């Protein structure tokens, strides 16, 4: 059954007739697994690429078994697999309906924390900095000074906003505390920006691939992504492509990661970022610059001024956090922009969240006191981790292709011809190695030939993970009981 998927129509919240669905599924890849699982995978693929919307009713089992030329029991098992994994729901007496599984959102793992013995490479998130306990202790030591008053600081404590602003100023972007809002991480900051400035139907220019959490947030406010390819081998090509996409699609917002984009690792050059900022300004686009990885410079490559520094007066909103430099568990991040945009965001934030924890903010102030040392230690550690992962990959997976990134937290790998990221992830999961498939970083079904491999897990796990990939990424799937991929993708 070879079907040209491009000829198929996108339906939304529809009732699917069996023939249409069979065409959408196309060729059923069995590849060493039971037939029902191949059908479930095919269905999952058309749900994931948006061809079938959440809430659509799947055809009755008998009709689909006819259309696919398989037994009814096979389709029953495929539907059961989809239900168990959260891709479908049975409504008594009404049929089986497409659902959006929790595992496909960036908060999935919170609901299903990985069990012992599982190697969690889904997340590019390092363990806590060795400097963190001292910062907590310093905050405890001065806790009496934190307690007077009601304890709410709607835009953040004066001390932390002053410290964050000072760091921007030192980096070349003069900033006052009034230009900062403290948030519960960069994800929270992105949410705040989209909630304030995006309206349903607004277009948002994004890098492609991009950070899935951002796409989820812009989806949640009804905005529409305008994907523009980004390639670490030629990052500045993004500028002209973004210009063209802006002319054609008139986005009102852009969400960019000019430093070590997640997952591609791309970093714009100094002149590239200046041209990009000017281009966005020319199109009247409010540009969100995610700086979560901006300080994770490896290999002694240069530190650049913050995006927008050479183009003052442009509508740039920087977001950042301590999640990658210190620890995701701290939950402290920020937004930086001009006073007018900040005051609009402050009103939005106050409606949603009264304050970020005063104690964590005090801890963050102590962290910023010795931030250069913290960064130096983090960079040294990440560099060692990156080189170790690269050497394991070269030895065990010589036909996987990747560029060694000069910053960030992961390798963005091109898989050998004909290898699907979904297959690699599924097979690795059967050996207790969890990964985020390349498709998680794209819109539609892009990046099925890519896999992100983070180097943030303890060094002993890097070698074990690569070994499992080498043993499972081609040939038959491993025998072990498949582990449900728990997919918090950060």
Ligand X SMILES: Cc1ncc(COP(=O)(O)O)c(C=O)c1O
Q: List residues near ligand X by CB under 6 A.
A: 125, 185-187, 211, 213, 257, 262, 290, 292, 321, 323, 328, 333, 490
In the three-class reduction of DSSP (H, G, I as helix; E, B as strand; rest coil), residue 471 is classed as: helix
Residues 6+ apart with CB under 8 A from 360: 330, 331, 332
Provide, rounded to whole angstroms, the least separation between the CB of residue 178 and ligand X.
22
Phi and psi at 153, nearest 5°, equal -135, 85
Nearest CB to ligand X, comparing residues 308 and 478: 308
Nearer to ligand X, 25 or 297 (CB): 297
42 vs 187, which CB is nearer to ligand X? 187
Going by C-alpha positions, the residue among 16, 157, 161, 37 that lies closest to residue 429 is: 37
Tracing tokens 């819109």 back to the chain, one arrives at 443
* Residue 331 vs 379, nearer CB to ligand X: 331
Query: What 3-state DSSP class applies to 478?
Result: coil
Q: How far is the CB of 185 from ligand X (least distance, A)?
A: 3
Q: Which residue's structure tokens are 């079938």?
A: 52
The sign one gets for the Cα dihedral 482, 484, 489, 490 is negative
Mention every residue, 6+ apart, whose C-beta is less than 8 A from residue 327. 126, 127, 128, 129, 132
Residue 303 to residue 317: CA distance in whole angstroms: 19
Alpha carbons 315 and 250: distance in angstroms, whole number: 16
Residue (43 or 184) nearer to ligand X, CB: 184
Residue 236 beta carbon to ligand X: minimum distance, rounded to whole angstroms: 20
Using the Cα atoms of residue 52, residue 58, residue 59 and residue 62 in order, give the sign of their dihedral. positive
Q: How many Å apart are CA 128 and CA 143, to the nearest integer?
A: 22
Min separation Cβ 186 and ligand X, Å:
4
- Is 184 or 315 the residue whose CB approaches ligand X more closely? 184
Q: How near is the Cβ of 230 to ligand X at its closest, in Å?
A: 13
Question: Looking at beta carbons only, is 454 or 478 nearer to ligand X?
Answer: 454
3-state secondary structure (DSSP) of residue 335: strand
Q: Which is nearer to ligand X, 103 or 290 (CB)?
A: 290
At closest approach, how far in Å is the CB of 479 from ligand X?
33
Which residue, 325 or 432, is less far from ligand X as judged by CB?
Answer: 325
Q: Are strands 316-321 and 180-183 parallel, antiparallel or unpaired?
A: unpaired
Least Å distance, CB 93 to ligand X, is: 42
CB of 289 to ligand X, least distance (A): 11
182 contacts 160 by C-beta, under 8 angstroms: yes
97: which strand partners? 57, 89
- Establish how many alpha carbons lie within 13 A of residue 287's alpha carbon, considering only the half-sphere containing its beta carbon: 29
Rounded to whole angstroms, how far apart are CA atoms 214 and 212? 5
CA distances from 223 to 67, 187, 220 (A): 36, 16, 8
């Amino acid at each position: 059954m070879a079907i040209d998927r491009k000829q198929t129509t996108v339906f939304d919240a529809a009732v699917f007739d069996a023939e249409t669905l069979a065409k959408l599924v196309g060729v059923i890849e069995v590849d060493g697994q039971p037939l029902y699982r191949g059908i479930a995978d095919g269905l999952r693929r058309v749900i994931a690429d948006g061809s079938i919307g959440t809430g659509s009713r799947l055809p009755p089992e008998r009709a689909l078994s006819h259309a696919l030329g398989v037994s009814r029991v096979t389709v029953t098992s495929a539907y059961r697999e989809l239900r168990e994994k959260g891709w479908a729901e049975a409504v008594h007496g009404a049929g089986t309906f497409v659902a959006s599984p929790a595992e496909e959102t960036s908060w999935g793992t919170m609901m299903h924390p990985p069990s012992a013995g599982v190697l969690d490479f889904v997340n590019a998130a390092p363990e806590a900095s060795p400097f963190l306990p001292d910062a907590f202790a310093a905050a405890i030591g001065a806790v009496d000074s934190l307690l007077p008053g009601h304890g709410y600081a709607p835009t953040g404590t004066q001390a932390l906003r002053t410290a964050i602003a000072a760091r921007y100023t030192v980096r070349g972007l003069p900033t006052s505390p009034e230009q900062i809002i403290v948030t519960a991480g960069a994800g929270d900051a992105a949410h705040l920006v989209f909630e304030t400035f995006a309206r349903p139907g607004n277009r948002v220019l994004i890098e492609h691939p991009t950070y899935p959490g951002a796409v989820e947030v812009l989806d949640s406010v009804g905005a529409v992504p305008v994907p523009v390819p980004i390639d670490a081998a030629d990052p500045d090509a993004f500028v002209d492509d973004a210009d063209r996409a802006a002319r054609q699609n008139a986005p009102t917002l852009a969400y960019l990661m000019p430093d070590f984009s997640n997952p591609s690792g791309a970093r714009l050059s100094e002149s590239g970022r200046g041209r990009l900022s000017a281009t966005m300004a020319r199109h009247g686009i409010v540009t969100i610059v995610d700086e979560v990885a901006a300080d994770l410079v490896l290999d002694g490559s240069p530190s650049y001024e913050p995006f927008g520094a050479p183009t003052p007066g442009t509508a740039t909103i920087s977001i950042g956090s301590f999640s990658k430099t210190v620890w995701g568990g701290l939950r402290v991040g920020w937004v930086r922009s001009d006073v007018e945009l900040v005051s609009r965001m402050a009103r939005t934030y106050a409606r949603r969240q009264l304050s970020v924890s005063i104690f964590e903010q005090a801890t963050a102030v102590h962290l910023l006191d010795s931030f250069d040392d913290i960064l130096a230690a983090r960079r040294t550690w990440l560099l060692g981790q990156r080189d170790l992962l690269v050497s394991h990959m070269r030895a065990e997976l010589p036909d996987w292709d990747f560029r060694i990134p000069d910053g960030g937290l992961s390798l963005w790998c091109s898989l050998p011809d004909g290898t699907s990221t979904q297959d690699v992830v599924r097979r690795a999961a059967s050996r207790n190695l969890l990964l985020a498939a390349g498709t998680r970083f794209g819109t539609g079904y892009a990046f099925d030939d890519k896999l992100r491999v983070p180097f943030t897990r303890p060094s002993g796990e890097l070698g074990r993970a690569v070994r499992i990939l080498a043993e499972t990424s081609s040939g038959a799937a491993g025998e072990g009981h498949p582990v449900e991929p728990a997919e918090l993708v950060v």
